[in-house]
Amino acid sequence: MELETAKNAKSPRPPAASVRNLRTAVEKAMAGGGKARVDAQKAKGKFSARERIHYLLDEGSFQELDLLVSTRATEFGLKDKDIPGDGVITGFGQINGREVCVYAQDFTVLGGSLGLAHAQKICKIMDLAHENRVPVIGLLDSGGARIQEGVDSLDGYAEIFYRNVKSSGVIPQISVILGPCAGGAVYSPALTDFVFMVEGTSHMFVTGPDVVKAATGEEVSFDGLGGSEAHSSKSGVCHFVAKSEPDCFRQVRELVGYLPQSRFEKAPRVANPDPIRRSVPLLEKMCDLDPRRPYRIHHIIWQIADEHKFFEVQSAYAKNIVTGFCRMGGEVVGIVANNPAHLAGALDINASDKAARFIRMLNAFNIPVLTLVDVPGYWPGVQQEHGGIIRHGAKILHAYAEATVPKITVILRKAYGGAYIAMSSKHMRGDFNFALPCAEIAVMGPAGAVEILYSRDIAACKNEDEKLALKAKLSAEYAAKFASPYQTASTGSLDEVIEPAQLRYKVVRALRFLKDKRLPGAHENRGNIPL
């Protein structure tokens, strides 16, 4: 009996025919467009769709859905073609142990083109993400609509766009552009919360270079028209740029770590090894700076953030305002900060749009806003006025006034005019508004105010030296009387003028006090519309 058992153990029973058929079908579907097309993809420095999912998700966590779905279209020879998975891989997995839904277009299968079945697979995974309140991540690498399927492919895009809007502000939506993304396909990423691109391989445009040349006579390369540099620094469509695909997936994983699963949760808290009472002596030096001297606001953010870590969003676009994530006391915080190193930190059209959409995203996903203010006003000029600075500038006012998450504001150096109001002032319902002792808060800068208030006295001066001396004297008097943080604090428009070195502690303490200000999901969802 023992001998017979041992013999059977050495000769496993072959799988049933039905199991063999399943394994054959799965193996065939997982091969994508075949070895030759996969090799061609890699020759361009691009991963296969399955390799991308492997790099993005925790090892062994991916569960694929709809592997065996295929197109039902038959025109233009489609019935004779093998189209595994209809050119897209869909499923769910984990990032750092947290569930996410994923879809990855496979360029090796009909160029990743979108047909009806392809779109239905994406819609199914988006619905799953929405219903189960988890983020959805799209890995896009597609030649666009599948022409052979006609209007069905356009209807498929419409169904995806509808779901993008339905999920806006409900679950985080992330788009990763890993190849071409053209025509109507570009509007799905534009509707999502964050867009990633890879240098040299990612391209987005409504019309390609050939169409542009035919229509307007302009000659432009793929990169020049819709590459990562164009969309990260000029159009503002792209939020993050990576040097390579592995670097891109590392950034995506880092971003997900700052986001909640949905509007019904808070962002994940982590153990904080950085003492909340850590002093920030650098800020004392700042009080000795000339108010007109530029500096990078990043140095202030790094000093006050846990472990000096800051994850910047849209770093190459509208550099006069800085947006991004950090942790303070272990809690995720969204940073909005004027950057005096660029355009003196003034607000312009692009900066207003950038800040407003980021604030609305933070409000949608229960993330507190820390506003660091050093702003001389709105950027002047005919181009700005004709470009709609009034309309665009109003967006940041609307975003702050609308936000009901904890709002903490610190005036670092100067805050003048309408820009002072716009940067989460007390009467825009900031919860805690602090200022450093060197802050200047006024309708306008002392130099400009003196030119208006004392124009006759200045004009009466006998020479230029006398004018400069009088201006300096009057500016100092004006600043002391009308631009002092103590004068603003005396009216209640500031809660406290704080010791510079205590800034980190003051902010963390305020955040902890405000932690229950709003229950996740209790707020009205207005979505995260592209601004």
What is the distance between the alpha carbons of residues 340 and 291, in angstroms, rounded to a whole number? 10
CA nearest neighbour of 314 among 402, 393, 400, 255? 255
pLDDT band, residue 296 (cuts 50/70/90): very high
Structure confidence at residue 482 (pLDDT):
66
Structure confidence at residue 454 (pLDDT):
63
pLDDT in tens, 244-264: 999 999 999 999 999 999 999
Q: From the candidates 183, 324, 377, 430, which is the catalytic residue?
A: 183
Cβ-based neighbours of 100, under 8 Å, separated by 6 or more: 57, 92, 93, 94, 129, 134, 135, 136, 137, 256
What is the distance between the alpha carbons of residues 319 and 297, in angstroms, rounded to a whole number? 10
pLDDT band, residue 299 (cuts 50/70/90): very high
Q: How many CB atoms within 10 Å of residue 525?
A: 12
Coil vs helix vs strand at 241: strand
Can you tell me the mean pLDDT for 350-357? 98
> How many residues would you count in the chain?
531
The percentage of residues in the chain with a pLDDT greater than 70, rounded to a whole number, is: 92
Residue 84 has pLDDT above 90, yes or no: no
Residue 1 has pLDDT above 60, yes or no: no
pLDDT in tens, 486-529: 888 989 999 999 999 999 999 999 999 999 999 999 899 999 99
DSSP assignment letter at 524: P
Cα–Cα–Cα angle for 399, 137, 94, nearest 5°? 115
DSSP labels, 466-481: HHHHHHHHHHHHHHHH
Cβ-based neighbours of 336, under 8 Å, separated by 6 or more: 321, 322, 323, 355, 358, 359, 369, 370, 371, 372, 423, 424
Which amino acid is it at 312? E
Can you tell me the mean pLDDT for 366-394? 95
- Which of 6-20, 355-369, 517-531 shows the highest mean pLDDT? 355-369
pLDDT band, residue 72 (cuts 50/70/90): low
Structure confidence at residue 459 (pLDDT):
74
List Cα–Cα distances, 74 to 71, 81, 206, in angstroms: 8, 9, 28
Structure confidence at residue 516 (pLDDT):
93
Could you give the domains of the chain? 18-258 (3.90.226.10), 282-444+484-513 (3.90.226.10), 446-482 (no CATH)
Q: From the candidates 257, 330, 387, 418, which is the catalytic residue?
A: 418
Structure confidence at residue 484 (pLDDT):
82
The lowest-confidence range among 70-79, 204-213, 461-470, 495-504 is 70-79
Residue 127 has pLDDT above 70, yes or no: yes
Structure confidence at residue 82 (pLDDT):
64
Can you tell me the mean pLDDT for 58-63? 97
What is the distance between the alpha carbons of residues 447 and 474, in angstroms, rounded to a whole number? 8
- Say whether 156 is catalytic: no
Q: From the candidates 31, 34, 40, 184, which is the catalytic residue?
A: 184
Coil vs helix vs strand at 226: helix
pLDDT in tens, 406-453: 999 999 999 998 999 999 999 999 999 999 999 989 876 676 676 777
Structure confidence at residue 48 (pLDDT):
93
Structure confidence at residue 76 (pLDDT):
47
Instruction: Provide the greatest CA pair distance for the chain.
Output: 121
pTM: 0.92
Residue 281 has pLDDT above 50, yes or no: yes
Q: From the candidates 49, 415, 419, 510, which is the catalytic residue?
A: 419
pLDDT band, residue 288 (cuts 50/70/90): confident
Which amino acid is it at 103? Y
- Say whether 183 is catalytic: yes
- Say whether 97 is catalytic: no
Structure tokens, 217: 């006579």
pLDDT band, residue 398 (cuts 50/70/90): very high
Structure confidence at residue 499 (pLDDT):
95
- Say whether 403 is catalytic: no
